[in-house]
A = this chain, B = another copy of it.
Amino acid sequence: MPTSNVNFRVIKSEKYTIVHFELSKAITPSELREITPPKIDPMKGIVLSGRGPIWLYCYLAHYYHPTKFVATFDPRLGGAVVTQTHDPEHEVGEIIEIKERELIL
């Protein structure tokens, strides 16, 4: 079974799933081929969260593109920005407010 330095945590909310990652050490690009992002409900949107390189985010955003929408958490904004959507209720550029406590287990 492939191992990975990317540890995922899934936090379910009513309308979206938060996929938060933590890196146990710096990730190298080739590790993108080894990570196994968690399965989530594609009928809900997804919020990506964690400290990591832009290419990890772009990889994960593409990985989850069948989901209802993809947003990335930006701590400076106190919320997640929708970057792609199939959901008429959410538009690109919208900020979905995420309370810090939602990111904690």
Q: Are B59 and A57 in contact (CB-based, < 8 A)?
A: no
- For A35, the closest partner residue in chain B by CB is B93
Q: Are A58 and B72 in contact (CB-based, < 8 A)?
A: yes
Q: Does chain B have a CB within 8 A of A54?
A: yes
Chief secondary structure at chain A's binding surface: mixed
**How many copies altogether?**
2
Q: Mark A50-61, 1 if CB is under 8 A from B, else 0.
A: 000111011101
- Total A residues in contact with B, Cβ cutoff 8 Å: 28
Q: Using CB atoms and an 8 Å cutoff, list the residues of chain A in contact with chain B.
A: 29-33, 53-55, 57-59, 61-62, 65, 70-72, 74, 77, 81-84, 91-95
Give 16 A-B contacts (CB < 8 Å), ordered by A residue.
A29-B93, A29-B95, A32-B83, A33-B91, A33-B93, A53-B74, A53-B81, A54-B72, A55-B72, A55-B74, A57-B58, A58-B58, A61-B61, A61-B62, A62-B83, A62-B84
